Amino acid sequence: MVPALELSQLGRADYLATYAAMREFTLARSDATPDALWVCEHAPVYTQGLAGKADHVLAPGDIPVVQTDRGGQVTYHGPGQVVAYPLLDLRRAGYYVKEYVYRIEESVIRALGHFGVTGHRVSGAPGIYVRLDDPFSHAALSGPAHPADPFRGLGKIAALGIKVSRHCTYHGLALNVDMDLEPFDRINPCGYSGLKTVDLSTIGVQTTWNEAAQVLGQKLSAFLQP
C-alpha cells in the first residue's frame, strides 16, 4: 500500500532550486514513490509558462524572469505568498487533469472559507477570484455581467499553473496572503491586461503566513486524495 501524501513545509526556498528539485523528483519517481506536497515561499521572481508571451512582462525591473515548463502565462512569486507544489501520480490517484485542477481550486476555496472569504472560479481562467466590493459575500457569481471584461469587480487571490509528465504532476499554485502587490502591476497577470491582484491582507483578513500555509496544506492533503 502506498503511503498517503507526504506534506513538507520548506519555508523560504530558492525558486530555481525548487523547480529543479521538482523535475528531478518527477523523473526519478517509480510506481511506489509516495506522493508529496511541498509548501514554501519564494523571494521575488516572475515565472513564465510555456505559452507565455514576452509582451505580458511589462517592466520587470530588477526582478528575475524565469522560463518554466508549466502551463499558463506569467505570474509573480514573492514574500507573503504561500506556494504549494503537489507532486502526484494521477494514474494511481484515479483521476484526470481536469479533475485535478478542480480539486486544487476547491482546496483553495475551502482554505479561503476558513478565513470567511468566498472564493470564485471564472470559466476559462484557472485560479481563484474574490469580489472586490464584498469578499465575504456568499452569493454565487451569476456569470460575467460584463462579457467584454469577465474580471470586472473581481480580484485574483490565487494563481494556478501545472505540468503533467508521464501522469505525474509538478508546479502548482500560489495563494496571496500578505504581500507587496506592486510587482503584479509590472506584468499582465496570467496574461490578462488590467487584472487586479489581491491578497488576504488587502481584503481585510489578518493572518500569518504560517497559519495560511497550514490551512492550505490541510485542504490540499484532503482534497487531492484518491
Clarify whether 168 is annotated catalytic.
Answer: no
The span from the CA of 202 to the CA of 73, in Å, is: 24
Closest among 226, 224, 220, 225 to 110, alpha carbons compared:
220
The span from the CA of 126 to the CA of 203, in Å, is: 21
Closest among 207, 188, 226, 200 to 119, alpha carbons compared:
200
Catalytic-labelled residue, pool 190, 198, 203, 212:
190
Which residues lie across from 161 on neighbouring strands?
A: 172
- The CA-CA-CA angle for residues 209, 213, 215, to 5°, reads 120
For 161, what's the count of Cα atoms within 13 Å in the CB-facing half-sphere? 26
List residues with catalytic annotation.
Answer: 190
